[in-house]
Amino acid sequence: MLKPRIIPCLLLKDGGLVKTVNFKSPTYIGDPVNAVKIFNEKEADELILLDIDATTNHFEPNYKLISKIATECRMPLCYGGGIKNVEQAKKIIGLGVEKLAISSGVLDNGKMINDIASAVGSQSVSVVLDVKKKLFDEYEVYTHNGSKRRKKNLFDLISRIEDMGAGEIVINSIDNDGSMKGYDLDLAKKIRQITNIQLSISGGAGSLDDIKVLIKECGIIGAIAGSLFVFKGRFRAVLINYPSLTDKKNLFKI
């Protein structure tokens, strides 16, 4: 039976972990393997690892680092960054990664989802859409760390992605990234109404209450957070944290 998931998201840059605000000003926060070990101890539901250099700089995925992290990770692991073809996808899954996060490759090649889903299974394909709000409650889709605007209608794109065979859609708010001011609930609710596949929302979580509200408004959903799980206090000291089992039970009591 599906249930809401609380998912830390870690950003990779030059082999280290960073945190951004509105997809800009990456701040180094530590070693990815050490972070994974801590999330293991805290029994996180799932972990998303995104290499923010790979696609922008046309790099191959860092298979050596992915393998090292996957070997250490005791929770379902989703990796994204630089995936452009079936061979890369199969290689990463073969390293012990459960899911692949794909973004720009999907928009460049509409057949890519179906090809990868056929090779590794729909349950292993998550399509990540980085979005920025426009006037009149419209949204634009971006890739390459928010630097490349794509002329795609977000809601039409979601319907097509579902038809192509993706197992999950991840919506990442560029406007709310690193702000810790709460999720874009209006957007989350709109998307929940038009798709039945697994949905995860990222961008803006600043407290466990933000996660609780998201689950209350959207039901069974993945609540993704970055800053909330790597910073502590108003001075944003780096401290890996995650809700306890008791806290999670309280969050799911709607």
Q: What is the pTM of this model?
A: 0.94
What's residue 135's pLDDT? 81
Q: How far is CA 50 from CA 13, 105, 208, 245, in A?
A: 9, 14, 23, 26
Per the residue annotation, which of 45, 130, 177, 184 is the catalytic one? Answer: 130
Q: Give the Cα separation of 230 and 181 in Å (integer).
A: 16
Q: Is the pLDDT of residue 172 over 80?
A: yes
| 210 catalytic residue (yes or no) | no
Residue ranges of the alpha helices (H) in 51-149? 63-72, 86-94, 104-108, 112-120
Provide the Cα torsion 217, 23, 10, 210; round to 10°. -20
Q: Is the pLDDT of residue 1 over 60?
A: no
What's residue 254's pLDDT? 56
What's residue 126's pLDDT? 96
Q: Give the Cα separation of 188 and 123 in Å (integer).
A: 21
Q: Where are the domains of the chain?
A: 5-251
Average pLDDT, the chain: 92
Q: Give the Cα separation of 190 and 156 in Å (integer).
A: 12
Architecture of 5-251 per CATH?
A: Alpha-Beta Barrel (3.20)
Q: Which residues of 237-247 are buried (b: 16+ CB within 10 A; e: fewer)?
A: eeebebbeeee
Q: Is the pLDDT of residue 247 over 80?
A: yes
Query: 129, 170 in Cβ contact below 8 A?
Result: yes
Write the pLDDT tens digit of every residue in 82-133. 999 999 999 999 999 999 999 988 888 878 999 999 999 999 999 999 999 9
Kindly give, in sequence order, each residue whose CB lies less than 8 Å from that of residue 182, ignoring residues fewer than 6 positions away: 176, 204, 205, 206, 210, 213
